[in-house]
Structure 1
Amino acid sequence: MSGIKSVCVYCGSSNDVDPAYLELATNLGTAIAKRGWRLVYGGGTVGLMYAAAKAAHDAGGEVIGFIPRFLQRIEGSYEEVPHVVVETMHERKKLLFDESEAFVVLPGGIGTLEEAVETLSWAKLSLHAKPMSFLSTNDYWTPFFDCLDKMVEHKFAPPSMLDLVFKSNDPEHSMDEFLNRYVDVI
């Protein structure tokens, strides 16, 4: 048994994106469900987050969403899956983190980037050892990885930081790599 039970998905909430991104999110949700893992996400009914959650649910997988009350009014809640309404973004992020053993970052905007960078920062500080994948199509995350390389090159981060994350364009590869990188913490 891998020790991985739940995978958090950080991703965009826009419906006005290239259909290739929605397809990637759908394929990820299906891949998570196929492994028998729970998909943990931001709880809304828009964009990539909804595509991933709906695909996991439709494939028979377990899904849980965490959404702040103010966002629930904007993004709705996927009523077919359990969801928890919280008061703040900080509460949401803590629950997303606590309820997951691994993280996938799909394409998204500034909120997605903020969640991903905070999770990576915690890993760099040795606050967790949960594996993290940046999954994209159209080389979406390439500039982010270029930025990480520049941080290392200019000695703002150690080379070991690059070992804390990986990029992929295939959901199955990300899931397989999680199994290779997962460290069971007792």
Structure 2
Amino acid sequence: MTTINSICIYCGSSSGRLEAYGAAAQTLATALVSRNIRLIYGGAGIGIMGMIADQVLHLGGQAIGVIPKALAHKEVAHPNLTELHVTQSMHERKMLMAELADGFIALPGGIGTLEELFEIWTWAQLGFHQKPCGVLNVAGYYDALISFLDHVAAEQFVKPHHRAMLMVETDPNLLLDRYVNYQPPAVKHWVNKHET
């Protein structure tokens, strides 16, 4: 059993085309608060980012934002968070979010969301952390990406056990249940053949 006290959510700073995206953010927020799990996220008060934070706060949960100084104005930092960390850079932002979280979930979002998801999944593959990573596939948003990742695995650029590390569900409670029971695969540590 994995103890999950906080989850980092990667998601869009826009609302997207479908109302289902925002509704899913609110459903996920409700699931987090019902399990007493803190929200760790990018700190904005707009788009899907704002929707999930607003719902967590409305339900009495904790919402912790992490935003770089350069984006604090551009992304409109949320004014009412439990905590707001302002970092000097995007790299520092991502590192702090990773340190604060016990797991990671991607909701619908754009290039930044995808970049964050792939980076944290890569870190898991390399054994830099042993925290669960997953995607909440809302209204088929990630269908094409999931198919492509299966293709990448079939073409032997990703090992099957590494592909399986990225969990996919349409129901937030099912995804969180899988996180509690997550067992990371053993990571092979490479040793330089010249080392003694």
After superposition, where does 1:23-38 map in structure 2 within 5 Å?
23-38=23-38
Q: Distance in 2 between matches of 1:175 and 1:54?
A: 20
* Aligned twin of 1:175: 176
After superposition, where does 1:13-52 map in structure 2 within 5 Å?
13-52=13-52
* Aligned twin of 2:163: 162
After superposition, where does 1:22-171 map in structure 2 within 5 Å?
22-81=22-81, 82-171=83-172
Q: Distance in 1 between matches of 2:158 and 2:16?
A: 35
Q: Distance in 2 between matches of 1:124 and 1:45?
A: 32
Moved over 4 A (4+): none
The alpha-carbon deviation at position 132 of structure 1 amounts to 1.3
Say whether the 8 Å CA contact 1:4–1:182 is kept in structure 2: no
The alpha-carbon deviation at position 151 of structure 1 amounts to 1.3
Corresponding residue SS for 1:51 = helix
Q: Distance in 1 between matches of 2:2 and 2:61?
A: 17
Corresponding residue SS for 1:138 = helix
Identify which range, 133-142 or 6-15, moves more after superposition.
133-142
Say whether the 8 Å CA contact 2:2–2:182 is kept in structure 1: no
The alpha-carbon deviation at position 181 of structure 1 amounts to 0.8
Larger Rg: 2
Say whether the 8 Å CA contact 1:64–1:83 is kept in structure 2: yes
Say whether the 8 Å CA contact 1:21–1:136 is kept in structure 2: no
The alpha-carbon deviation at position 52 of structure 1 amounts to 0.8
The alpha-carbon deviation at position 64 of structure 1 amounts to 0.4
Q: Distance in 1 between matches of 2:84 and 2:161?
A: 36
Say whether the 8 Å CA contact 1:10–1:103 is kept in structure 2: yes
The alpha-carbon deviation at position 136 of structure 1 amounts to 2.1
Query: TM-score scaled by structure 1?
Result: 0.93
The alpha-carbon deviation at position 169 of structure 1 amounts to 0.9
Say whether the 8 Å CA contact 1:24–1:136 is kept in structure 2: no
Q: Distance in 2 between matches of 1:89 and 1:44?
A: 14
The alpha-carbon deviation at position 182 of structure 1 amounts to 5.7
Q: Distance in 2 between matches of 1:93 and 1:176?
A: 25
CA RMSD of aligned residues (A): 1.4
| Uncovered stretches (5+) of structure 1, i.e. residues with no partner | none
The alpha-carbon deviation at position 11 of structure 1 amounts to 0.4
**Number of aligned residue pairs:** 183
The alpha-carbon deviation at position 72 of structure 1 amounts to 1.1
Query: TM-score scaled by structure 2?
Result: 0.89
Letter in 2 for 1:3: T
Q: Distance in 1 between matches of 2:152 and 2:97?
A: 27
> What is the aligned-residue identity percentage?
37
